[in-house]
Amino acid sequence: MEGLWKKGLAALSSTAVAVALLAGCGGGSTNNATSNSTGTNAGTPQKGGTINIDINDDVAHFDPAVAYDQGSWEFVWGNIYNQLLKYKPQTTDLEPDLATSMPEISSDGLTYTFHIKKGIKFSNGDPVTAQSFVDEFKRILTPSVQSPAVGFIDPAIQGADDFYKGKTKELTGVVAKDDYTLVIKLTKPQTFFTKVLAMPFFSPVDEKYIQSIGGDKAFDHKPMGTGPFMMQSYTPGKGFVLVRNPNYYDSSKPYLDEIDVHVNSNQESTALSFEQGNTALMDDYTQQIPAQYYLKWSAQSQYSSLLKKQPYMGIEYVGLNTQVAPFNNKLVRQAVEYAINKDNAVKLANGRGQVTNEILPPGIQGYVQQLGGQDDVNYKYDPNKAKQLLKESGVTNLNVTMIVRNRAPLTQIAQSIQADLNAVGFHVTLKQVGESDYLSQAESGKAQFGLYGWFADFPDPYDFLDVLFNSNQAPINNWANYKNPTVDKELQQAATMPDGPERYKLYDKIQDQILDDAAWVPLYNPVNTTIHQSWVNNYYTSPVMEDPLADLWVSKH
């Protein structure tokens, strides 16, 4: 019923980002623009035109310091706001955006110096300076703003903790050296820090404007930034209108004059509107293509040629709480690994997913497709082996409760898993929960197990392996309550060591260990299914960023 990654509070589905299916490559520095562009880009881009888009639910936040879900990032990231760095279209490679070049990084890896392009203006005409960035860092670290991004820079940036706790008024680690030079100092080296900065949290903001409209709460719905689009009007519950930002620094963009965004919780009616030629595009960031339309369109040639499938940089998995009975027993966890038929899960998603045996998703550097390790951790469906492991474990109380979000196809998949597990001797009770309840249940550390999901914030193994398995993240993000001192030490090492093959080898080793301990049953990498009108040109999906609204142009139709 709902969009696949429903909005808001589900920060874990935060950056559901599409991944190009990179044939035989570990992601990273690839440029395969041809393999996943739409093939309908005829002619030269033309300026002008208006498109209609439906979204499943109201955009929760337009304030870049607060927005942290897929539905908000669709419009905040790269559209109303932009940042120092951005990802090259269809890659996981960074390039300068508001910065003139990639940052100068000191030899100890602690100091990042950015030079900011001159002449950049906010859409209201106010100039952008290095201070505009400092202001945003300070906003994030101001408790009343309620930014979820605090964890990305506190304690990573010097002085952040003191500022957050109100001990100082100055943020010593983020300094505007002059109007066009921004210096950021870290407390310890962080290999992936530039990727952190590319997230929309760290957009320049106009503090003068924020004060003029009445402060942070008002700013959440009257956004004003440096991006190619600006908001013209907004009606809560109904939708909003984005128009071209006349002050955007790249005068060639955007192509579109206007984007009309409508809130419509009824996917079926969006699909019908698409058939009628009204809605310009549908995908998991805006309005998910409903299952029955996906099946119908797949079978009709005028639509099937417009359907595209791109795996996400994300994963759906069964998380087993390693500290709670009966899953505190490794043999029981391994039994679960063998008991679940992952193909069924993908079938229930109408094939909109690909089965996986590892934690890292395809497209991210470190993804290996076939795991190594001493023992085979590419568990295959084998109910007899599962029964045997359960017998070996000697555990007799196999009554367990599984948490699942109240949304198709997850509830269906959970029921299939339930049937699989019951077949080998478990007695599974399902607990369907709403999106918000889901979070609090899972992170309580008490839930036995659940059908969970995780999506990359930025394309680095850290965002999966460290955030989800470091014992210091338990149980808030580490829902498996996984605690392994060796893994902790290796994670610490991998986070700070220089980027390169050695680092990914170490992550590989960590992955093998976690799966040998069977903390997770990786199920599948979901696939973003998209469709767009034939007259919408230059539509593509990127591994990291969401829809390229500024690059779209429409031909006469």
Partner 1 sequence: MNNAVLEPSLSPAAGTAVKRRMSFWRFARRYPSVVVGGLIVLIMVLIALFAPVLAHYDPTRPLSDGLSQMGAPLPPNHKYWLGTDTEGRDVFSRVLYGARVSLEVGFFAGLISLFIGALLGIISGYFGGWVDMVIMRLTDMVLAFPFLLFVVALVAVMKPSVTNVFIAIGVFGWAQMARIIRGQVLAVKELEYVQAARSLGASAWNIIFKEVLPNVITPVVIYLTLAIGQNILLEASLSFLGFGVQPPEPSWGNMIQEGMAYFQLAPWLIYAPGLMLLITTIGFNLLGDGLRDWLDPKVGR
Partner 2 sequence: MASYILRRFIGALVVLFGISVITFIIAYAAPGDPARLIVGAKAPQTVVDAVRHNLGLDQPLPIQYIHYIGRLLHGDLGFSYHNNLPVAELIGQRIGNTVQLALASWIVEVILGLPLGIFGALYHRRTADYILSFLTLVGMSMPVFWFGMWLIQNVAYGLGILPLGGVGGISHLILPAITLGVTNMAFYQRLVKSSMVDVMSQDYIRTARANGVPAHRVVTRHALKNGLIPAVTYAGMDIAQLCGGVVLTETVFNYQGVGQLAWQSIENLDFPVIMATVLIAAVFVVVMNFIVDIVYSLIDPRISLS
391 binds, among partner 2, partner 1, none (CB under 5 to 8 A by kind): none
- The phi, psi pair for 271, rounded to 5°, reads -60, -40
48 binds, among partner 1, partner 2, none (CB under 5 to 8 A by kind): none
Separation between Cα atoms, residue 102 and residue 150, nearest integer Å: 24
242 binds, among partner 2, partner 1, none (CB under 5 to 8 A by kind): none
Separation between Cα atoms, residue 230 and residue 120, nearest integer Å: 15
Sites for partner 1 among residues 242-271 (CB under 8 A): 268
Considering only 5, 122, 137, 164, the residue that binds partner 2 (CB under 8 A) is: 164
316 binds, among partner 1, partner 2, none (CB under 5 to 8 A by kind): none
Separation between Cα atoms, residue 83 and residue 149, nearest integer Å: 15
Which residue(s) pair with 143 in the sheet?
A: none
**Please, which residue, 150 or 390, has the CB nearer to partner 2?**
150
> Measured on CA atoms in the order 352, 355, 359, 361, is the torsion positive or negative?
negative
Any idea which residue has 């300094």 for tokens? 175
359: number of Cβ within 10 Å: 25
Should residue 411 be labelled a site residue for partner 1 when binding is judged by CB under 8 A? yes
Should residue 291 be labelled a site residue for partner 1 when binding is judged by CB under 8 A? yes
Should residue 74 be labelled a site residue for partner 2 when binding is judged by CB under 8 A? no
String marking each residue 5-24 x if it binds partner 2 according to CB under 8 A: ---xxxxx-x----------
What does DSSP say about strands 258-263 and 50-55: parallel, antiparallel, or unpaired?
A: parallel
> Measured on CA atoms in the order 7, 16, 450, 344, is the torsion positive or negative?
positive
Number of chain positions touching partner 2 (CB under 8 A): 51
Separation between Cα atoms, residue 372 and residue 66, nearest integer Å: 40
Considering only 66, 116, 281, 403, the residue that binds partner 2 (CB under 8 A) is: 66
C-alpha dihedral, 302 to 304 to 305 to 309, nearest 10°? 150
Should residue 408 be labelled a site residue for partner 2 when binding is judged by CB under 8 A? no
Sites for partner 1 among residues 446-505 (CB under 8 A): none
Any idea which residue has 């962080």 for tokens? 190
Please, what is the minimum distance in Å from the beta carbon of residue 423 to partner 1? Answer: 9
Should residue 441 be labelled a site residue for partner 2 when binding is judged by CB under 8 A? yes
**Please, which residue, 292 or 399, has the CB nearer to partner 1?**
292
476 binds, among partner 1, partner 2, none (CB under 5 to 8 A by kind): partner 2
Please, what is the minimum distance in Å from the beta carbon of residue 299 to partner 1? Answer: 9
Should residue 9 be labelled a site residue for partner 1 when binding is judged by CB under 8 A? no
290 binds, among partner 1, partner 2, none (CB under 5 to 8 A by kind): partner 1
Sites for partner 2 among residues 191-220 (CB under 8 A): 217, 220
3-state secondary structure of 399: strand
Separation between Cα atoms, residue 360 and residue 193, nearest integer Å: 19
Separation between Cα atoms, residue 207 and residue 234, nearest integer Å: 21
Please, what is the minimum distance in Å from the beta carbon of residue 13 to partner 2? Answer: 9
Which residue(s) pair with 366 in the sheet?
A: none
Separation between Cα atoms, residue 225 and residue 121, nearest integer Å: 9
Separation between Cα atoms, residue 458 and residue 545, nearest integer Å: 9
All residues at 6 or more sequence positions from 483 whose CB lies less than 8 Å from its CB, including other chains: 322, 323, 471, 474
Should residue 309 be labelled a site residue for partner 1 when binding is judged by CB under 8 A? no
Residue type, 218: A
Considering only 422, 436, 486, 496, the residue that binds partner 2 (CB under 8 A) is: 436
Should residue 238 be labelled a site residue for partner 2 when binding is judged by CB under 8 A? yes
Sites for partner 2 among residues 461-500 (CB under 8 A): 467, 476-477
Should residue 555 be labelled a site residue for partner 1 when binding is judged by CB under 8 A? no
The encoded tokens of residue 247 equal: 């002050």
Separation between Cα atoms, residue 470 and residue 484, nearest integer Å: 8
**Please, which residue, 260 or 437, has the CB nearer to partner 1?**
437
Residue-wise DSSP of 185-222: EBSS--TTHHHHHTSGGG----HHHHHHTTSHHHHTTS
307: number of Cβ within 10 Å: 16
**Please, which residue, 254 or 453, has the CB nearer to partner 2?**
453
Should residue 408 be labelled a site residue for partner 1 when binding is judged by CB under 8 A? yes
Should residue 246 be labelled a site residue for partner 2 when binding is judged by CB under 8 A? no
Binding residues vs partner 2 (CB under 8 A): 8-12, 14, 57-61, 63, 66, 68-69, 143-144, 146-148, 150-151, 154, 164, 217, 220-221, 235-238, 262-266, 268-269, 272, 434-437, 439-441, 443, 457, 467, 476-477
Binding site for partner 1 (CB under 8 A): 1, 268, 290-292, 295-296, 298, 344, 347-351, 406, 408-409, 411-412, 414-416, 418-419, 429-432, 434, 437
